[in-house]
Amino acid sequence: MNNNNEKKYIRSHEPVFWGLFGAGGTLTAFMTPVMILITGILVPIGLFGEGKFNYQQIHQFATSWYGAAIILILVALPLWHTFHRIFHGLHDLGVKQGRDWQQVICYGSAFAVTIFVLTLLLQMIAA
């Protein structure tokens, strides 16, 4: 057939986003239900961590290096997961217009919030 001109293969950059998607998805699946259970149900009805979830304690955690790192990961990765899913969901729904812009808006939002949270945490640590 027309094998005369060798087909050009273009490498996709999807592994980067798929990696963040996978990591975020794993976190969401394992951590979110636990966090909702603790902070949304057990703490408010007083079954867990009595007196340990006050402002001072949480602030102390957030301004420690390891605490800040954990919070950043817990916020950023699920966000990358979500926006990746939305980006591909739009394709699945047949929204064909402006795929470039969809990509910029989706991953741009995830990137922006990641940087925002990072800056916020660094400011808190520095303060």
Partner 1 sequence: MANKTIKIEILRYRPEQEDKPSPQLFEVPYSPDLTILEALQYIKDHLDSTISFRWSCRMAICGSCGLMVDGVPKLGCKTFLRDYFPNKIKLEALANFPIERDLVVVMDDFINKLEEIKPYIIPEDNTKCLSDGPHQQTPEKLAKYKQYSMCINCGLCYAACPQYALDTKFTGPAALALLARYNRDSRDAGSKQRMKIVNQEEGVWGCTFVGYCSVVCPKGVDPAAAIQLLKVESSKDYLIGMFKPD
Contact status: 51 vs partner 1 (CB under 8 A)? no
Minimum distance from residue 77 beta carbon to partner 1 (Å): 16
Among 11, 34, 55, 65, binds partner 1 (CB under 8 A): 11
Q: Which tokens go with 79?
A: 């966000």
Q: Which tokens go with 11?
A: 């490498």
Contact status: 9 vs partner 1 (CB under 8 A)? yes
Q: Which of 87, 88, 82 is nearest to 104 (CA)?
A: 87
**Contact at 8 Å (CB) between 110 and 77?**
no
Among 26, 91, 95, 122, binds partner 1 (CB under 8 A): 91
- Alpha carbon of 39 to those of 45, 49, 72, 82: distances in Å? 10, 10, 17, 21
Ranges of H-type helices in 36-64: 55-62
Give the binding range for partner 1 (CB under 8 A) out of 56-64, 72-80, 88-96, 114-122: 88-96
The footprint of partner 1 on this chain (CB under 8 A) covers a number of residues equal to 14
Which residues are at the interface with partner 1 (CB under 8 A)? Answer: 9-16, 18-19, 88, 91-92, 94
